[in-house]
Amino acid sequence: MKQTKPFLTLFLLFCCLFVTYGIGALDTSLYGVQGSALGWLSFSPESFKNLISLSLIVSPFLHLNTGHLLMNFFLFIPISMVIERSYGPKILSLLFIMIHVQSLLLLIVSNHWINLEGKFFLGLSHVVLGLYGYFALSKKNLFLTFFALSIIAIGKWQGQDNLTLLAHVIGYLVGVELFVIRRSWEKFRSQRSNASVIISNDP
Residue 36: the pLDDT is 45
Residue 69: the pLDDT is 93
**51 phi, psi to nearest 5 deg:** -70, -15
Contact 133, 172 (CB under 8 A): yes
Contact 13, 73 (CB under 8 A): yes
Task: Count Cβ atoms below 10 Å from residue 184 Cβ, excluding itself.
Answer: 10
Residue 113: the pLDDT is 82
As a whole number of Å, the CA-based R_g of the chain is 19
Residue 115: the pLDDT is 72
The domains located in the chain, with CATH, are: 7-197 (1.20.1540.10)
Task: Count Cβ atoms below 10 Å from residue 174 Cβ, excluding itself.
Answer: 25
Q: Alpha carbon of 106 to those of 1, 44, 118, 150, 186: distances in Å?
A: 34, 12, 15, 22, 26
Question: What is the C-alpha to C-alpha distance for residues 37 and 20, in angstroms, rounded to an integer?
Answer: 8
- Tens of pLDDT along the chain (203 residues)? 455 688 999 999 999 999 888 876 665 554 444 444 455 677 877 767 767 677 888 889 988 889 989 999 999 999 999 999 999 999 999 999 999 999 999 988 888 887 776 678 889 999 999 999 999 999 999 999 999 999 998 887 666 777 888 999 999 999 999 999 999 988 888 777 665 555 555 55
Residue 200: the pLDDT is 52
Residue 119: the pLDDT is 77
- The pTM (predicted TM-score) of the whole model is 0.85
